[in-house]
Each structure stands twice: as C-alpha cells, then as structure tokens.
Amino acid sequence: MIQNLLRHLAGLTLVVPLLAGTFFLMFAPAPHAQPVQTNDEFILSLAGYIDQSKLTPRERLGLRLFFDPTLSEPGGTACASCHDPRRAFTGNNSTLIGVAQGSRPEAFGTRDAPTTMYLEHVPKFGSIQSDGKPVPAGGLFWDGRADTLEEQAKQPFFNPLEMNNPNAPALIAKVAKAPYAAEFRKEWGDKIFGNADAALDAVAASIAAFERTSVFQPFTSKFDYVMRGEAKFTEQEQRGLSLFTIRQKGNCAQCHIVDTDSRDPKKSLFTDFSYRALGVARSMRIPKNAADGAFVDLGLCERVPVEGLKPGAEAPTPKITDPAACGLFKTPTLRNITITAPYMHNGLFDSLRDTVAFYATRDTHPERWYAQGKKFNDLPAAYHANVDVDTPPYQRRPKQRPQLNDEEIDDIVAFLFTLTDGYNPRRGGIDISTQPSAAPVASKPAAPGARSDY
C-alpha cells in the first residue's frame, strides 16, 4: 500500500469536497469499519494538502522527496514529519515536549523546529544595523549555520537525532529505489545515481526548488489583504497592531519588522533575521535538559557553518570564539505564528498568549517564568550580560508596572491572528481551499517522527 501511495503522490491535490466529507464523518458514524492508517500512510497523505497544479517537474520532485517517509534510518520519518503543511510547515509530531523524536525512539533534539515558510527571503549570515549598532543576522536554522536552502535541506538527513542516515550513499540508495526514481533520472540525468555526492546535491536542489514556490510564501493573510486595501482590521486587531509597533508598549516591531506604508508583503516579513539573547527559561521537559544538568544550548556562539562538511561526518566540536554571541538565537518570522506552537528556540511555551506575556513581564515579574524567580536560568552566569535588558519592554525592573496590561496583550494576540495565511476576504476568515494551514489538524495515528537540533 505504501508503494502505491508513493506512486500516486504526485497526483494528489487538495480536494475540498473530500475534506467536507471528512467533517461529515466526524459527526456521523461510518457504515463500515475504516482501516487503520499507518505512520507512513499518514505522512504521505499530508501531500494531499498541496496544490501541485502549478509545480514544475523539479518542484514536484522536491515535493515527493519532502513527503517520502522511507528516506530515514530506520524508515518512517520524512521532512514533512516535522514540517506539516497544516501547521505552516512546523509541527511537534505529536510530542508534547517542545522538541521531537527522531527516527530512533531514543533520539530527541534540543530545539524546536522552525517553520520552513518564507525562507526564500532569508539573507545569508552576516550583520545588520540595529539602534546604530551592528548585530548578527541571517542564515538558516536557529544558529544560522546554513546560508542556502540547499545547504539546509541536506542536514536533517544525516543528523543522528533526526533522519539518521549514515552517509550520502546510504540515502541515495533509498532514493534510487523510490517509485519516483525514474522522474529523478529524467530531471537530473540517467547516470545521476552513479555519483552519490552529485545525487545528494540534486536531492537538495529539488527540495529547495519546492521550498521556493508560492506554497511556502503565499502572502495570503488578512494582514496582506488589509495592506492591499481589500480588507479591514477589527478595532481590536487595529489596537493590537498599534501596540505591536509603539516602542513604549509592545515594541515587537523592533525585531519583527513591519512596514504598514507598503503594499509589498516582502517588506513585512515580521523578522529582521537578527540574533537576540532573551534569557528564556530552561525547559525541563526536554530529555537532554532533564538528564544532564550541565548541558546548555549556547546558540550562536557555538555555530558551526555546514558549508563544506561531509554528509554523515561528525560535526567538529564548537569552539567559543565570541562569548558575546552566547545565548543568542535567530528572530523567527511571526507569519502564521498562531498555528506554529510551541514557541521559543527550546519550545518552552505552548500558548501564544503566554509567549507575549513573557516579553512584557519577564523583568517585572520574573517569578512567573523562572524557577524560584532566578532569571536567565538556562544560561551560565558568565553570559548573562548578553541578555537584552535595555530594549523596551525589557528595561523594566521587578515590581514595576509592565508596559503591557492584560487587555493590551490580548489585543496584540488578536493582531497576530491576522498573520495566518489562507484568509478569504469575501468570507472574512481562513479558507481551507486555498491554504493547507487552514485544514483541521488531527492527531497523528502512530508513533511520533523526527524533529531535532534545528
């Protein structure tokens, strides 16, 4: 059955009547017992949420690779296992710990999987000016170690905490046996499987081509329609936008930049791609943290660029050459933020409202967020000075009034809901027929798949 699903994967498209039937079955008992869906079948079925009608052969090949659960070791984990189209290409794979299990049951990562949407617009790792000072910015993953989508696409295949392939030949042998192998040879040449390194480059290029399509950067949120003059914010959403941008209130736009004077959505990506130290609390639901009290994820200062690393080879031990970069992680986009929980690099928060409240009250009420009220408890004291305590709203002190009250936090959250793609201005809501992220998210029927050290 799996092979048949793989063979027909390229022909899958989103069919709204089918989804409507699914809704009906939720309320009416089926006349016959339904077969139990396996993990692999579930992953492959997610491709049905993608409209493939406008994809080129290379992009469609990238889709098939992206949704292929046979490319891990052991099998059962695909790119889509952690980047579910119904969750704006994120997803914790049914784990409830902020990070996910890899292809092996004992393998868990230490970072939350970021969305793969809007990555086409991420610049290479470098720096930008912020408040007159240079700050690191750009690159992919939480630490910016990859500069291109092609580099990024290769990494999970060989990470032992993710898809766990030992080397390029092992991965390419699986691709060569896939039902789409003939399409792969047609796109990349009859002899492509004779050179594992060249074939791996072709795998990465195909996935990157898919990730550069409008599937991943549709710009169809209510915010986008409002900016084009085709919709209007509610009063609460408008208040939320104002609070989002005012420096002495939320000041969210300091890092999550937005240009309300432009109709060009690329000017409102809701990130400046910079790296910031927020001093997020330690998450004890991450297995590595619970098992090893000495382990600390230092983020940017342990960045090891992936360019030139041999696939499957153990990455060199990070050397801290810039202590001022310890504790810094990349600022993610807020587009589709309402459906991409959990939040923060360590997946600490499941609630978006709690996340906004953390920013507002981290310094005024630290006891709310940290064990025994001891701030920055997931960062060695030597690096506490790296945490931003000067930029509003972080400049407040204990017991002072936060810059945002409860109602204002609610207003900002209401505005953040306007950043979800798939909005239909005629209906005034999200349209399941135009955006996979609007589809209902059911529980996964089998064991969780991979997501790891992003």
pLDDT on residue 318: 79
pTM here?
0.89
At 181, list the tokens: 């192998």
pLDDT on residue 78: 95
Distance CA 419, CA 435 (A): 13
Alpha carbons within 13 angstroms on the beta-carbon side of residue 178 total 30
At 373, list the tokens: 């009220």
Distance CA 212, CA 140 (A): 14
Low-confidence ranges of the chain (pLDDT < 70): 1-36, 92, 94, 432-454
| Tens digit of each residue's pLDDT (9 = 90 or more) over 401-435 | 999 999 999 999 999 999 999 999 988 887 755 56
Place of tokens 């910031």: 276
Place of tokens 């599937």: 215
Distance CA 136, CA 275 (A): 6
Distance CA 294, CA 59 (A): 44
pLDDT on residue 91: 85
Strands (E), 173-280: 275-276
pLDDT on residue 329: 98
Q: Which domains does the chain carry?
A: 2-218 (1.10.760.10), 222-430 (1.10.760.10)
| Tens digit of each residue's pLDDT (9 = 90 or more) over 132-150 | 899 999 999 999 999 999 9
Q: Is the dihedral of CA 214, 217, 221, 225 positive or negative?
A: negative
